[in-house]
């Protein structure tokens, strides 16, 4: 079983709609969860972090975490063409004192004007 899984998409939504991105992870010991945005040809940029069950809102972005289901999601409200990018889910995997993020392969989002 892969450690972090995402639907590769592509996901296409019209401008103004809600985009919903999903991620599941395998390690129940994970405590920190992140969403990164990566524009084509650019490096990943951190947009959200979440540590507790429930929702965390930041502007048009809402991250949702359910540790019992090992599930993380990102909602983008009022989607804009500038949101078109690949969204990477990242999960902290603590292993023997080492802390590193394991990334999913990403979901490509296209917002159509």
Interface with other proteins includes 87 (CB under 8 A)?
no
Cα 101 from Cα 59, distance rounded (Å): 25
Residues 34 and 58: beta-carbon distance below 8 Å: no
Residues 20 and 10: beta-carbon distance below 8 Å: no
Interface with other proteins includes 110 (CB under 8 A)?
no
Interface with other proteins includes 7 (CB under 8 A)?
no
Binding span for other proteins by CB under 8 A among 17-25, 44-52, 60-68, 70-78: 44-52
Tokens of 16: 């103004």
Residues near other proteins (CB under 8 A) are: 32, 34, 42-46, 49, 51, 88, 90, 95, 97-106
């Amino acid at each position: 079983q892969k450690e972090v899984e995402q639907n590769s998409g592509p996901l296409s939504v019209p401008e103004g709609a809600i985009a919903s991105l999903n991620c599941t992870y395998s390690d129940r010991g994970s405590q920190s969860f992140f969403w990164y945005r990566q524009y084509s040809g650019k490096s990943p940029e951190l947009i959200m972090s979440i540590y507790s069950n429930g929702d965390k809102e930041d502007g048009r972005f809402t991250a949702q975490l359910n540790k019992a289901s090992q599930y993380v999601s990102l909602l983008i409200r009022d989607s804009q063409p500038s949101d078109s990018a690949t969204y990477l889910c990242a999960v902290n995997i603590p292993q023997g004192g080492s802390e590193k993020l394991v990334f999913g392969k990403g979901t490509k989002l296209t917002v159509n004007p």
